[in-house]
Amino acid sequence: MKIAIMQPYFMPYIGYFQLINAVDKFIIYDDVNYIKQGWINRNNILLNNKSHLFSVPLKDASSFKKINEIEINEILFPKWKDKFFKTLEVYKKAPFYESVRCILEKILISDQGKISDLIYYSLVEITKYIGIQTIIEKSSYIYKNSELQRAERLIDICKTEKANIYINPLGGQELYDKKYFSDYDIELYFIKTKAIQYPQFGDNFVPWLSIIDVMMFNTPEQINEMLNRFELI
């Protein structure tokens, strides 16, 4: 069984979905500390042929809190949502604008109080749309091992799930040792996304934007093919 464990990101880039698609079970690592200025509540879309940052407003976000404790700012969220959809109108001439907007409306009117819940729901809806079959779970719902540290905790989750293969984003090469995992009969791999390009509005392609951008310009079948453009190291 193959497993991946990753912090929750809102509308992440396609590499995140490659990781989900590469495993049998994907664990949203939501009972670890929140990372300020990270990608948990924000990402980029295309605006005037440039990368444009959007951020879901949060309430009292702090690196001293667990991600699953971070609440969406219920006062600011309605105005932010209206502004977000107004900004998305820059995609009106994109071939799949209407269908993608419907998915985003369903996600953002779902009345999720916490950012981790919103992300979980968004990942479930988007993976369903692009044809990913992977089971998605939250670490906070299943595993009572938050006292363990880094690699020990990941190994404990793998053992609980009877997983013999663990796939991690490429950045984890500096954190995790293949031999350490192999001592527990777990094969550790790192996923490296290959260059992905598709037609946008301008002549110059803007890479690594939110999955929103990918969905605006590509069919679910085309996106599903892109999910396999990676290598395991």
Render pLDDT for 30-65 as a digit per residue (tens, 0 to 9). 999 999 989 999 999 999 999 999 999 999 999 999
The pLDDT assigned to 145 comes to: 77
pLDDT, one tens digit per residue, over 88-117 is 999 999 999 999 999 999 999 988 899 999
**Backbone phi, then psi, for 94, in 5-degree steps?**
-70, 145
Nearest to 211 by CA among 115, 104, 106: 104
Structural domain boundaries, residue 115: 2-232
Place of tokens 């929750």: 8
Domain count, the chain: 1
**Backbone phi, then psi, for 51, in 5-degree steps?**
-75, 130
Whether the pTM exceeds 0.85: the reply is yes
The Cα angle at residue 137 between residues 221 and 23, in degrees rounded to 5: 50
Nearest to 21 by CA among 105, 125, 112, 134: 134
- The span from the CA of 86 to the CA of 52, in Å, is 14
